[in-house]
Amino acid sequence: MHHFDYKAGRLHCEDVDLGKIADAVGTPLYVYSTATLRRHASVIAAAFADIDCLIAYSVKANGNLAVLATLAAEGCGADVVSGGEMLRALKAGIPARRIVFSGVGKTREEMTLGLEQGIHQFNVESGAELETLSEVASSMGVKAPIAIRVNPDVAAGGHPNISTGKQGDKFGVPWAEAEPLYARAGELTGIEVCGVDVHIGSQIGDLEPMRRAFAKTVELTRRLRASGHNVSRIDFGGGLGIPYEASDAPASPADYAAMVRDVIGDLPVQVILEPGRVIAGNAGVMMTEVLYQKPAPDRTFLIVDAGMNDLMRPALYAAHHDVLPLNAPEKTDRNDTYDIVGPICESTDKFATRRDLPPVKSGDRLAFLSAGAYGAVLSSQYNARPLIPEVLVDGENYAIVRRRPSFDEMTQLEAMPDWLS
Ligand code: LLP
């Protein structure tokens, strides 16, 4: 469910004509819908309303400050994976007590920041990290609240590159090592054991692998409690999939919540969730303008002004994004077939292969849908292209929430060494 629709033949985000935004801001650019962000956050909150639950939005999906502030106002906490994401969440008004800190490679500086701020929980991913966190906390005279991220050895996820819960993945503590590590955690002066954490992957549409992983985690929690550990929270991570095309039918938040309630049964725990894509994914589009058509013997290329540096998902994961023209096609239009490519000097700079679209010409604009998660955050300045602007719509209003940098801003961190100046 999202708020990008044709009105009077023109694609709108909520009540704003996307063509008007493109005229004012220039292409390529991202546009996000406040109503969609709010709706997704509230649907998840409603699905879990009857249990003690912290919805810690996964900042990595879309960390724009205005997006975070929108979600903070909906009561979301944050799942962060770096000091930078933590500072973003705090700056956007998410209280530290609603922040969980995940990731396999936290530095001492990042641990110190989290402890100074008083975050809800560190999700620890190895014995070495646990020892370091204890040292850092002890030196500050505090205890770090922790969950250990366990690897349940369950495969899931929309693409091998986004599966994280299988033996051999770098994430989590191997299953057999989890209980000995909790025993060690109980001995460490700088550590306060609070919970168990699991996250098995992303873009998961089928609940069964999650159910298996979560059931194992609940079993482990019961055993840990029986052996005297104060495990009062289970963090089930993120990972719920979204529809990228009409034929996708991922499980709904309500089905997901029913499954979670079923696996936790009567266990008295706070549930922590780290949804990213399911909140932000369908709340954003990337708009681009067609520069040229280039006929080839076996196909027609549509060369657009956005590149793989602006939206990496097709190049990284062969991901599909639906494409809509900003002007609604006429009923009489038949589709043509195009390969949609960008201007970057890489063969992977390709957004779609043999895609059917109504006839398109230079100067027409297109919207890549479902680009609100892992879109802008993954972008780069490759080929010395500026990061593209981000715009947030709310009803009939819109605002630029990240502007396009100038060439001077793009190069201002660079310096000439003495011998060249
Ligand atoms: N929690 C942890 C520990 C994670 O690693 C992730 C995503 C999430 C939560 C949020 O997962 P979500 O609810 O968004 O599925 N760039 C890839 C996805 C990478 C996911 C990384 N971790 C893509 O564009 O498909």
Residue 215 — φ and ψ, nearest 5°? -65, -40
pLDDT digits (tens, 9 = 90+) for 203-234: 999 999 999 999 999 999 999 999 999 999 99
Q: Is the pLDDT of residue 162 over 70?
A: no
Q: Are 212 and 158 in contact (CB under 8 A)?
A: no
Atom 19 of ligand 1, residue of closest alpha carbon? 162
One DSSP character per residue, 398-411 reads EEEEEPPPPHHHHH
Calculate how far, in angstroms, residue 8's C-alpha sits from the geometric centre of ligand 1. Answer: 37
Task: For helices 65-73 and 83-91, give the axis angle rounded to 10 degrees.
Answer: 60
DSSP 373: S
| Displacement of CA 123 from its chain's centroid (Å) | 17
For position 137, what pLDDT does the model report? 98
Q: What is the mean pLDDT of residues 108-123?
A: 98
Q: How confident is the model at residue 198 (pLDDT cuts 50, 70, 90)?
A: very high
What's the CA gap between 376 and 348, in Å, rounded? 18
Calculate how far, in angstroms, residue 309's C-alpha sits from the geometric centre of ligand 1. Answer: 19
Q: Are 17 and 287 in contact (CB under 8 A)?
A: no
| Displacement of CA 213 from its chain's centroid (Å) | 21
For 111, residues 6+ apart whose C-beta sits below 8 A from its C-beta are 122, 132, 133, 136, 137, 144
For position 93, what pLDDT does the model report? 98
- Structural domains in the chain, CATH included, are 4-31+281-411 (2.40.37.10), 103-273 (3.20.20.10)
Is the CA virtual torsion 343, 345, 347, 349 positive or negative? Answer: negative
- Nearest atom within ligand 1 for CA of residue 149: 3
| Displacement of CA 59 from its chain's centroid (Å) | 6
Taking CA atoms, 166 is separated from 178, 182, 224, 241, in Å, by: 15, 20, 22, 18
pLDDT digits (tens, 9 = 90+) for 120-155: 999 999 999 999 999 999 999 999 999 999 999 997
Calculate how far, in angstroms, residue 97's C-alpha sits from the geometric centre of ligand 1. Answer: 22
What's the CA gap between 311 and 321, in Å, rounded? 10
DSSP 320: -
Token output for 245: 């095309």
Query: Which residues does the annotation mark as catalytic?
Result: 345
Range of lowest pLDDT (47-51, 52-56, 169-173, 284-288): 169-173
Calculate how far, in angstroms, residue 402's C-alpha sits from the geometric centre of ligand 1. Answer: 23
pLDDT digits (tens, 9 = 90+) for 286-313: 999 999 999 999 999 999 999 999 999 9
Q: Are 310 and 353 in contact (CB under 8 A)?
A: no
Tell me the best of 57, 58, 170 to mutate to test the pocket of ligand 1, counting ligand atoms within 8 Å of each CB and taking the most.
Answer: 58
Task: Report the number of secondary-structure helices (H) and strands (E) in the chain.
Answer: 12, 21
Segment holding 413, helix H or strand E = none
Q: What is the residue type of 281?
A: G
Give the whole-number percent of the chain exceeding pLDDT 70. Answer: 98
Atom 7 of ligand 1, residue of closest alpha carbon? 202
- Nearest atom within ligand 1 for CA of residue 278: 13
Judged on CB neighbours under 10 Å (0-12, 13-18, 19+), 102 is buried
Taking CA atoms, 326 is separated from 4, 12, 33, 329, 368, in Å, by: 11, 8, 16, 9, 10
Bridge partners, residue 123, by sequence = 147
Q: What is the mean pLDDT of residues 259-283?
A: 98
Taking CA atoms, 213 is separated from 220, 221, 251, 341, in Å, by: 11, 12, 16, 39
DSSP 252: P
pLDDT digits (tens, 9 = 90+) for 9-39: 999 999 999 999 999 999 999 999 999 999 9
- Nearest atom within ligand 1 for CA of residue 159: 25
- Nearest atom within ligand 1 for CA of residue 61: 14
| Displacement of CA 368 from its chain's centroid (Å) | 17
For 71, residues 6+ apart whose C-beta sits below 8 A from its C-beta are 37, 41, 57, 94, 279
Calculate how far, in angstroms, residue 275's C-alpha sits from the geometric centre of ligand 1. Answer: 8
137-147 as b/e, with b when 16 or more CB fall inside 10 Å? beeeeebbbbb
For position 124, what pLDDT does the model report? 98
Tell me the best of 199, 202, 204, 316 to mutate to test the pocket of ligand 1, counting ligand atoms within 8 Å of each CB and taking the most.
Answer: 202
- Nearest atom within ligand 1 for CA of residue 280: 14
What's the CA gap between 286 and 305, in Å, rounded? 11
Token output for 26: 């220039």
Query: Tokens 């205890």 sit at which residue?
Result: 143
Give the whole-number percent of the chain exceeding pLDDT 90. Answer: 94
Tell me the best of 60, 196, 204, 379 to mutate to test the pocket of ligand 1, counting ligand atoms within 8 Å of each CB and taking the most.
Answer: 60
Residue (of 334, 333, 337, 324) closest to 296 by Cα position: 337
Q: Is the pLDDT of residue 403 over 70?
A: yes
- Whether residue 389 has a cis bond before it, omega within 30° of 0: no
Calculate how far, in angstroms, residue 202's C-alpha sits from the geometric centre of ligand 1. Answer: 5
Residue list, ligand 1 pocket, CB within 6 Å:
58, 60-61, 79, 102, 162, 199, 202-203, 237-240, 274-278, 313, 317, 373-374
Q: What is the residue type of 84?
A: G
